[in-house]
Amino acid sequence: MLIDLLFTPMCIGCKSLGSHLCLGCRSAIQIASFDLRSPTLEVVSAGQYEGWLRDSVVRYKSGARSDVYGLSQIVDLMLPRASRIVPAPTSPEKVRDRGFDTIGQLSRQVVRRRRDVTVVPVLRLTRTVRDQVGLTADERRANLTGAIRSIRPVQGDFVVLDDVVTTGSTVQECARALKKAGADRVFVISLCASRNRGYL
Ligand SMILES: [Zn+2]
């Protein structure tokens, strides 16, 4: 029946039926962490921006629900117990264009899976920033400096959630804003990170 096919979950990696992330694809994920510098900031990611992970991130950005389900399971693998997630902010223009807030949606799905995790959506972009695509690392930093702030004071430790970390300038700015608002320790969880980590 077509109706059964529509409601049967499909793996975001290998397209096999039965779950949004099959055991084989799940066990092939290699979680790794690295440090951004000046200031030091730890980033944990599930892989590089390539292959099926990239394809799934592209689909999730265009609104595919099954990819949100599968990718939220990948975030789940990386999140320590009782984490407090702060979604990296999306510009209002992008939210309007897409019709939804990508990272906000991913965060909400993670919380549905993990009752010990909470979402603390305190970061906002304070001004219009240029699209980061095509900018050099220095240009990205300049583009974002002072552009993110917390809407209220915070206390304790936080995990910034982002989908793709490239030069790291966005998540650095998120961490800076959280610390300015009172956060203690901050680290980053990202679905994927740039292929070229040598720039760090
Ligand atoms: Zn699979």
Per-residue pLDDT of the chain (200 residues; tens, 9 = 90+): 566 666 799 999 999 999 999 999 999 999 999 999 888 999 999 999 999 999 999 999 998 999 999 999 999 999 999 999 999 998 888 888 888 899 999 999 999 999 999 999 999 998 776 677 777 777 777 777 788 999 999 999 999 999 999 889 999 999 999 999 999 999 999 999 985 554 33
Determine the pLDDT at residue 3: 62
With contact defined as beta carbons under 8 Å apart, do 13 and 46 qualify? no
With contact defined as beta carbons under 8 Å apart, do 121 and 107 qualify? yes
Q: Both tokens of residue 114? A: 């993990």
Distance CA 126, CA 148 (A): 6
CA 124 / ligand 1 centre spacing (Å)? 35
How confident is the prediction for the chain on average, in pLDDT?
A: 90
CA 8 / ligand 1 centre spacing (Å)? 14
Distance CA 84, CA 67 (A): 22
Domains defined along the chain, listed by start: 32-199 (3.40.50)
CA 14 / ligand 1 centre spacing (Å)? 4
| Cα-to-chain-centroid distance, residue 70 | 13
Determine the pLDDT at residue 100: 87
In this prediction the pTM is 0.89
CA 46 / ligand 1 centre spacing (Å)? 15
Determine the pLDDT at residue 85: 97
CA 20 / ligand 1 centre spacing (Å)? 8
E strands of 73-130, at which residues?
84-87, 118-119, 123-125
